[in-house]
Homo-oligomer: A and B are copies of this chain.
Amino acid sequence: MAIDRRNFIKASATAIAASAVSGKLPAMTMMSRSKKMKLSYSIYDISMVHTFNISGFSRDVAQSILVEISYDGQVGYGEAGLPPYMIGQNAQTAADFIKKVNLEQFSNPFILEDILNYVDSLEEGMSCPKAAIDIALHDLIGKLLDKPVYELWGYNKVTTPLSSFTIGFDSEDMVRTKIEEASRFKLLKLKLGKDEATDKMMVRVAREITDKMIYVDANQGWKDKYYALDMIGWLTDYDITFVEQPMPKNMCDDMAWLTSKSPLPTMADEACQRLCDIRNLYQQYSGIVVKTLKSTGLREGKKMIETAKALGMKTMIGCSTETSCAISGAAQLSVMTDYADTDGNLLISNDCFSGMKIVDGKVTLNNKPGIGVVKL
Protein backbone atom coordinates (compact mmCIF):
# COMPACT_ATOMS: atom_id res chain seq x y z
CA MET A 1 0.00 0.00 0.00
CA ALA A 2 1.37 3.37 -0.98
CA ILE A 3 1.51 6.01 1.76
CA ASP A 4 0.38 9.35 0.32
CA ARG A 5 0.46 11.46 3.47
CA ARG A 6 2.71 14.46 3.21
CA ASN A 7 4.49 14.64 6.53
CA PHE A 8 6.36 17.84 5.88
CA ILE A 9 7.40 20.43 8.43
CA LYS A 10 7.31 23.83 6.80
CA ALA A 11 10.95 24.59 7.18
CA SER A 12 10.65 27.89 5.34
CA ALA A 13 8.69 29.20 8.31
CA THR A 14 11.53 27.98 10.54
CA ALA A 15 13.97 29.79 8.28
CA ILE A 16 12.07 33.06 8.60
CA ALA A 17 11.99 32.69 12.36
CA ALA A 18 15.69 31.88 12.35
CA SER A 19 16.45 34.94 10.31
CA ALA A 20 14.49 37.07 12.81
CA VAL A 21 16.43 35.49 15.69
CA SER A 22 19.76 36.10 13.98
CA GLY A 23 18.91 39.81 14.17
CA LYS A 24 19.80 41.17 10.72
CA LEU A 25 21.54 44.48 10.93
CA PRO A 26 21.85 47.13 8.22
CA ALA A 27 24.46 46.31 5.63
CA MET A 28 27.01 48.81 6.88
CA THR A 29 27.31 47.53 10.45
CA MET A 30 29.29 44.28 10.22
CA MET A 31 26.22 42.32 9.17
CA SER A 32 28.38 39.31 8.37
CA ARG A 33 29.11 38.76 12.04
CA SER A 34 25.50 38.14 12.85
CA LYS A 35 25.03 35.57 10.10
CA LYS A 36 24.34 32.08 11.37
CA MET A 37 23.39 28.96 9.49
CA LYS A 38 20.05 27.51 10.63
CA LEU A 39 19.30 23.86 9.93
CA SER A 40 15.86 22.26 9.80
CA TYR A 41 14.65 18.91 8.49
CA SER A 42 11.59 16.81 7.77
CA ILE A 43 10.88 13.21 6.88
CA TYR A 44 9.07 12.80 3.59
CA ASP A 45 6.90 9.82 2.69
CA ILE A 46 7.37 8.96 -0.94
CA SER A 47 4.74 7.13 -3.01
CA MET A 48 5.98 4.99 -5.86
CA VAL A 49 4.38 4.58 -9.26
CA HIS A 50 5.16 0.84 -9.53
CA THR A 51 6.13 -1.72 -6.95
CA PHE A 52 9.93 -1.86 -7.25
CA ASN A 53 11.61 -5.26 -7.42
CA ILE A 54 15.32 -5.77 -7.15
CA SER A 55 17.42 -8.71 -6.10
CA GLY A 56 16.81 -8.88 -2.35
CA PHE A 57 13.58 -7.01 -1.75
CA SER A 58 10.56 -5.20 -3.21
CA ARG A 59 8.71 -2.09 -2.04
CA ASP A 60 6.07 0.44 -3.05
CA VAL A 61 6.72 3.13 -0.43
CA ALA A 62 9.88 4.93 0.53
CA GLN A 63 11.06 7.70 2.81
CA SER A 64 13.63 10.43 2.53
CA ILE A 65 15.02 13.11 4.77
CA LEU A 66 14.67 16.70 3.55
CA VAL A 67 16.97 19.38 4.92
CA GLU A 68 16.89 23.15 4.70
CA ILE A 69 19.76 25.44 5.69
CA SER A 70 19.10 29.16 5.82
CA TYR A 71 21.78 31.84 5.87
CA ASP A 72 21.90 35.46 4.84
CA GLY A 73 18.44 35.49 3.31
CA GLN A 74 18.91 32.33 1.23
CA VAL A 75 17.71 28.79 1.82
CA GLY A 76 19.57 25.73 0.57
CA TYR A 77 17.68 22.48 0.03
CA GLY A 78 19.05 18.99 0.46
CA GLU A 79 17.70 15.47 0.59
CA ALA A 80 18.70 11.85 0.84
CA GLY A 81 16.61 8.75 0.44
CA LEU A 82 16.42 6.29 3.33
CA PRO A 83 16.21 2.98 1.46
CA PRO A 84 16.06 -0.27 3.43
CA TYR A 85 19.49 -1.37 2.18
CA MET A 86 21.12 1.47 4.16
CA ILE A 87 21.07 -0.67 7.29
CA GLY A 88 20.49 1.33 10.47
CA GLN A 89 19.50 4.49 8.65
CA ASN A 90 15.81 5.31 8.87
CA ALA A 91 13.54 8.22 9.68
CA GLN A 92 14.27 7.96 13.38
CA THR A 93 18.05 7.54 13.30
CA ALA A 94 18.46 10.14 10.55
CA ALA A 95 16.42 12.66 12.55
CA ASP A 96 18.38 11.84 15.70
CA PHE A 97 21.58 12.47 13.79
CA ILE A 98 20.45 15.82 12.37
CA LYS A 99 19.56 16.99 15.89
CA LYS A 100 23.22 16.62 16.88
CA VAL A 101 24.43 18.96 14.15
CA ASN A 102 25.21 22.54 15.14
CA LEU A 103 26.05 24.63 12.08
CA GLU A 104 25.80 27.91 13.97
CA GLN A 105 29.37 27.49 15.17
CA PHE A 106 30.68 28.08 11.62
CA SER A 107 31.22 31.58 10.37
CA ASN A 108 29.97 30.85 6.86
CA PRO A 109 28.82 27.97 4.63
CA PHE A 110 31.77 28.24 2.22
CA ILE A 111 34.25 26.34 4.39
CA LEU A 112 32.72 23.04 3.34
CA GLU A 113 35.79 20.97 4.16
CA ASP A 114 35.67 22.03 7.82
CA ILE A 115 31.90 21.83 8.12
CA LEU A 116 31.58 18.43 6.48
CA ASN A 117 34.51 16.97 8.40
CA TYR A 118 32.75 18.09 11.57
CA VAL A 119 29.41 16.62 10.46
CA ASP A 120 31.14 13.39 9.46
CA SER A 121 32.90 13.16 12.81
CA LEU A 122 29.68 13.30 14.85
CA GLU A 123 28.80 9.66 14.29
CA GLU A 124 30.04 6.79 12.19
CA GLY A 125 27.84 5.87 9.26
CA MET A 126 24.71 8.00 8.86
CA SER A 127 25.67 8.81 5.29
CA CYS A 128 22.07 9.69 4.38
CA PRO A 129 21.51 12.65 6.71
CA LYS A 130 25.13 13.69 6.07
CA ALA A 131 24.35 13.75 2.34
CA ALA A 132 21.19 15.80 2.85
CA ILE A 133 23.20 18.41 4.76
CA ASP A 134 25.98 18.43 2.14
CA ILE A 135 23.51 18.95 -0.70
CA ALA A 136 21.74 21.76 1.17
CA LEU A 137 25.08 23.50 1.75
CA HIS A 138 25.97 23.24 -1.94
CA ASP A 139 22.55 24.62 -2.88
CA LEU A 140 23.00 27.45 -0.38
CA ILE A 141 26.49 28.36 -1.65
CA GLY A 142 25.26 28.38 -5.23
CA LYS A 143 22.43 30.70 -4.28
CA LEU A 144 24.74 33.01 -2.33
CA LEU A 145 27.04 33.27 -5.37
CA ASP A 146 24.12 33.18 -7.84
CA LYS A 147 25.71 30.31 -9.76
CA PRO A 148 24.70 26.71 -10.43
CA VAL A 149 26.83 24.20 -8.54
CA TYR A 150 28.11 22.57 -11.75
CA GLU A 151 29.39 25.97 -12.89
CA LEU A 152 31.16 26.64 -9.59
CA TRP A 153 32.90 23.32 -10.27
CA GLY A 154 34.00 24.61 -13.70
CA TYR A 155 31.72 22.45 -15.83
CA ASN A 156 29.45 23.19 -18.75
CA LYS A 157 25.98 21.72 -18.44
CA VAL A 158 26.05 20.46 -22.02
CA THR A 159 28.46 17.71 -20.92
CA THR A 160 25.83 15.69 -19.03
CA PRO A 161 25.38 12.06 -20.12
CA LEU A 162 22.30 10.02 -20.96
CA SER A 163 20.34 8.87 -17.93
CA SER A 164 19.11 5.32 -17.73
CA PHE A 165 15.61 4.33 -16.81
CA THR A 166 15.41 1.36 -14.47
CA ILE A 167 13.30 -1.71 -15.23
CA GLY A 168 12.88 -3.88 -12.12
CA PHE A 169 12.30 -7.58 -12.68
CA ASP A 170 8.73 -8.48 -13.36
CA SER A 171 6.52 -10.64 -15.55
CA GLU A 172 7.22 -10.61 -19.29
CA ASP A 173 4.12 -8.47 -19.93
CA MET A 174 5.04 -5.93 -17.27
CA VAL A 175 8.59 -5.72 -18.60
CA ARG A 176 7.17 -4.90 -22.04
CA THR A 177 4.85 -2.27 -20.55
CA LYS A 178 7.64 -0.63 -18.57
CA ILE A 179 9.99 -0.53 -21.55
CA GLU A 180 7.26 1.07 -23.64
CA GLU A 181 6.66 3.61 -20.87
CA ALA A 182 10.38 4.42 -20.99
CA SER A 183 10.20 5.50 -24.63
CA ARG A 184 11.81 8.89 -23.92
CA PHE A 185 14.94 7.24 -22.48
CA LYS A 186 17.88 6.20 -24.62
CA LEU A 187 19.54 4.04 -21.99
CA LEU A 188 17.82 1.24 -20.09
CA LYS A 189 18.97 -0.43 -16.91
CA LEU A 190 17.68 -3.95 -16.36
CA LYS A 191 17.64 -5.31 -12.83
CA LEU A 192 18.93 -8.88 -12.94
CA GLY A 193 20.16 -11.30 -10.30
CA LYS A 194 16.88 -13.09 -9.52
CA ASP A 195 17.38 -16.45 -11.26
CA GLU A 196 18.77 -17.49 -14.61
CA ALA A 197 15.39 -17.86 -16.33
CA THR A 198 14.13 -14.44 -15.21
CA ASP A 199 17.46 -12.75 -15.95
CA LYS A 200 17.57 -14.11 -19.49
CA MET A 201 13.87 -13.39 -20.11
CA MET A 202 14.41 -9.75 -19.06
CA VAL A 203 17.30 -9.28 -21.47
CA ARG A 204 15.65 -11.16 -24.35
CA VAL A 205 12.38 -9.24 -24.02
CA ALA A 206 14.18 -5.90 -23.78
CA ARG A 207 16.25 -6.64 -26.88
CA GLU A 208 13.17 -7.83 -28.82
CA ILE A 209 11.56 -4.46 -28.22
CA THR A 210 14.44 -2.02 -28.52
CA ASP A 211 17.94 -1.43 -29.85
CA LYS A 212 18.63 1.25 -27.24
CA MET A 213 21.73 1.12 -25.08
CA ILE A 214 21.09 -1.34 -22.25
CA TYR A 215 23.12 -2.18 -19.18
CA VAL A 216 22.31 -4.63 -16.43
CA ASP A 217 22.53 -4.49 -12.66
CA ALA A 218 22.76 -7.86 -10.94
CA ASN A 219 22.68 -6.28 -7.46
CA GLN A 220 25.17 -8.89 -6.13
CA GLY A 221 22.86 -11.63 -7.36
CA TRP A 222 25.47 -13.91 -8.95
CA LYS A 223 27.26 -15.79 -6.19
CA ASP A 224 29.73 -17.84 -8.25
CA LYS A 225 32.45 -16.32 -10.40
CA TYR A 226 32.21 -18.98 -13.14
CA TYR A 227 28.45 -18.55 -13.34
CA ALA A 228 28.92 -14.76 -13.42
CA LEU A 229 31.44 -15.04 -16.25
CA ASP A 230 29.07 -17.35 -18.17
CA MET A 231 26.22 -14.88 -17.73
CA ILE A 232 28.38 -11.99 -18.91
CA GLY A 233 29.46 -14.07 -21.90
CA TRP A 234 25.80 -14.70 -22.71
CA LEU A 235 25.04 -10.97 -22.35
CA THR A 236 27.63 -10.00 -24.96
CA ASP A 237 25.32 -11.43 -27.63
CA TYR A 238 22.70 -8.88 -26.58
CA ASP A 239 24.84 -5.78 -26.93
CA ILE A 240 24.93 -4.90 -23.23
CA THR A 241 27.07 -1.89 -22.30
CA PHE A 242 28.25 -2.96 -18.84
CA VAL A 243 27.36 -5.04 -15.79
CA GLU A 244 26.74 -3.38 -12.46
CA GLN A 245 27.64 -5.24 -9.26
CA PRO A 246 27.56 -8.78 -10.66
CA MET A 247 28.74 -10.47 -7.45
CA PRO A 248 28.47 -9.92 -3.69
CA LYS A 249 30.47 -6.90 -2.65
CA ASN A 250 32.71 -8.80 -0.23
CA MET A 251 33.90 -11.36 -2.80
CA CYS A 252 36.84 -9.13 -3.70
CA ASP A 253 39.25 -11.71 -5.13
CA ASP A 254 36.54 -13.39 -7.19
CA MET A 255 35.44 -10.00 -8.42
CA ALA A 256 38.98 -9.02 -9.45
CA TRP A 257 39.22 -12.35 -11.33
CA LEU A 258 35.86 -11.73 -13.00
CA THR A 259 36.79 -8.20 -14.11
CA SER A 260 40.11 -9.44 -15.52
CA LYS A 261 38.24 -12.05 -17.63
CA SER A 262 35.04 -10.19 -18.38
CA PRO A 263 34.35 -9.10 -21.96
CA LEU A 264 32.11 -6.36 -20.53
CA PRO A 265 33.08 -3.60 -18.09
CA THR A 266 32.05 -4.17 -14.48
CA MET A 267 30.83 -1.38 -12.22
CA ALA A 268 30.92 -1.33 -8.42
CA ASP A 269 27.73 -0.16 -6.75
CA GLU A 270 27.09 -1.87 -3.41
CA ALA A 271 30.89 -2.27 -3.10
CA CYS A 272 31.37 1.46 -3.55
CA GLN A 273 30.42 3.54 -0.57
CA ARG A 274 32.93 6.27 0.16
CA LEU A 275 36.20 7.79 -1.04
CA CYS A 276 38.37 5.40 0.96
CA ASP A 277 36.90 2.48 -1.02
CA ILE A 278 38.22 3.63 -4.37
CA ARG A 279 41.77 2.38 -3.94
CA ASN A 280 40.42 -1.11 -3.21
CA LEU A 281 38.03 -1.05 -6.15
CA TYR A 282 40.85 -0.11 -8.53
CA GLN A 283 41.70 -3.22 -10.58
CA GLN A 284 38.75 -5.04 -8.99
CA TYR A 285 36.08 -3.30 -11.10
CA SER A 286 36.22 -1.34 -14.35
CA GLY A 287 34.30 1.53 -12.82
CA ILE A 288 32.25 2.87 -9.95
CA VAL A 289 28.72 4.03 -9.27
CA VAL A 290 28.51 6.96 -6.88
CA LYS A 291 25.33 7.61 -4.94
CA THR A 292 25.17 10.72 -2.81
CA LEU A 293 23.32 8.95 0.01
CA LYS A 294 26.31 6.62 0.38
CA SER A 295 29.12 9.10 -0.38
CA THR A 296 27.81 11.56 2.26
CA GLY A 297 26.93 13.98 -0.52
CA LEU A 298 28.32 15.95 -3.41
CA ARG A 299 31.72 16.95 -2.05
CA GLU A 300 32.96 13.46 -1.31
CA GLY A 301 31.08 12.11 -4.33
CA LYS A 302 32.99 14.53 -6.56
CA LYS A 303 36.30 13.43 -5.05
CA MET A 304 35.34 9.79 -5.68
CA ILE A 305 34.51 10.48 -9.32
CA GLU A 306 37.68 12.48 -9.92
CA THR A 307 39.82 9.83 -8.25
CA ALA A 308 38.23 7.04 -10.27
CA LYS A 309 38.71 9.01 -13.49
CA ALA A 310 42.35 9.64 -12.61
CA LEU A 311 42.75 5.87 -12.23
CA GLY A 312 41.23 5.28 -15.66
CA MET A 313 37.95 3.92 -14.30
CA LYS A 314 34.47 4.53 -15.69
CA THR A 315 32.06 6.51 -13.56
CA MET A 316 28.32 6.65 -13.11
CA ILE A 317 26.20 8.77 -10.83
CA GLY A 318 23.28 6.85 -9.37
CA CYS A 319 20.44 7.63 -7.01
CA SER A 320 17.78 6.03 -4.88
CA THR A 321 14.04 6.63 -4.76
CA GLU A 322 14.22 10.32 -4.02
CA THR A 323 12.48 13.53 -5.00
CA SER A 324 13.84 15.99 -7.55
CA CYS A 325 15.79 17.62 -4.72
CA ALA A 326 18.31 14.81 -4.15
CA ILE A 327 18.24 13.89 -7.84
CA SER A 328 19.04 17.45 -8.90
CA GLY A 329 21.92 17.40 -6.44
CA ALA A 330 23.24 14.16 -7.89
CA ALA A 331 22.72 15.49 -11.40
CA GLN A 332 25.28 18.24 -10.73
CA LEU A 333 27.88 15.46 -10.61
CA SER A 334 26.69 14.01 -13.91
CA VAL A 335 28.62 16.70 -15.82
CA MET A 336 31.75 14.70 -15.00
CA THR A 337 30.51 11.09 -15.28
CA ASP A 338 30.26 8.69 -18.20
CA TYR A 339 26.78 7.53 -17.27
CA ALA A 340 23.90 8.61 -15.09
CA ASP A 341 21.15 6.64 -13.43
CA THR A 342 19.14 9.52 -12.09
CA ASP A 343 15.59 8.43 -12.63
CA GLY A 344 14.58 8.05 -8.97
CA ASN A 345 12.26 11.05 -9.09
CA LEU A 346 10.43 9.62 -12.10
CA LEU A 347 9.46 6.50 -10.19
CA ILE A 348 7.47 8.46 -7.62
CA SER A 349 4.02 10.05 -7.73
CA ASN A 350 4.39 12.85 -5.14
CA ASP A 351 7.53 14.77 -6.07
CA CYS A 352 7.72 17.96 -3.98
CA PHE A 353 10.48 19.69 -6.00
CA SER A 354 11.13 20.46 -9.64
CA GLY A 355 14.68 20.65 -10.95
CA MET A 356 16.78 18.64 -13.38
CA LYS A 357 14.86 17.04 -16.25
CA ILE A 358 15.47 14.18 -18.60
CA VAL A 359 15.16 15.61 -22.12
CA ASP A 360 15.56 13.19 -25.02
CA GLY A 361 17.08 10.75 -22.56
CA LYS A 362 19.79 13.16 -21.47
CA VAL A 363 20.27 14.65 -17.99
CA THR A 364 19.33 18.29 -18.48
CA LEU A 365 20.38 20.87 -15.94
CA ASN A 366 18.96 24.36 -15.77
CA ASN A 367 20.66 27.72 -15.18
CA LYS A 368 19.21 28.27 -11.71
CA PRO A 369 21.69 28.80 -8.86
CA GLY A 370 22.66 26.02 -6.49
CA ILE A 371 21.24 22.62 -7.40
CA GLY A 372 18.58 24.33 -9.49
CA VAL A 373 15.43 23.25 -7.68
CA VAL A 374 12.11 24.94 -6.96
CA LYS A 375 10.00 23.73 -4.04
CA LEU A 376 6.50 22.80 -5.20
Contact = CB atoms under 8 A, between A and B. Distances in A.
Given A145-B145, A145-B147, A279-B312, A154 B307 contact: no
Contact of A275 (B159, B304, B310, B335): B310
A155 interface: yes
A111 interface: yes
A174 interface: no
Copies of this protein chain in the complex: 2
A113 B156 contact: yes
Interface in A246-268: none
A184 interface: no
Contact of A307 (B147, B159, B306): B306
Contacts of A154: 110-113, 299
A303 B299 contact: no
A78 to B, nearest CB: 15
A211 B155 CA distance: 47
A13 to B, nearest CB: 29
Nearest to A310: B307
A338 to B, nearest CB: 15
Given A145-B145, A145-B147, A147-B145, A155 B113 contact: yes
A312 B110 CA distance: 26
Interface string A94-131: 00000000000000001111100000000000000000
A278 B308 CA distance: 11
Secondary structure class of chain A's binding surface, majority of residues:
helix
Nearest to A151: B110
Contacts of A304: 310
Interface in A324-367: 335-336
Interface string A272-312: 00011011001000000000000000010001101100111
A163 B282 CA distance: 33
Interface centre among A110, A145, A278, A336 (most CB of B within 10 A): A110
Contacts of A312: 279
Contacts of A151: 110-111
A235 to B, nearest CB: 28
A111 B156 contact: yes
A18 interface: no
A321 to B, nearest CB: 29
A359 to B, nearest CB: 20
A152 interface: yes
Contacts of A152: 110, 152
Contacts of A311: 278-279, 307
Contacts of A155: 111-114
B279 A310 contact: yes
**Pairs of residues from A and B, 4 with the lowest C-beta to C-beta distance, nearest first:** A112-B154, A307-B310, A111-B156, A110-B151
15 contacts: A110-B154, A111-B154, A111-B155, A112-B155, A113-B155, A113-B336, A114-B156, A114-B159, A145-B147, A152-B152, A276-B310, A279-B310, A279-B312, A304-B310, A307-B307
Given A110-B147, A110-B154, A114-B159, 16 more contacts: A110-B151, A110-B152, A111-B151, A111-B156, A112-B154, A112-B155, A113-B155, A113-B156, A145-B145, A152-B152, A276-B310, A279-B282, A279-B311, A304-B310, A307-B310, A307-B311
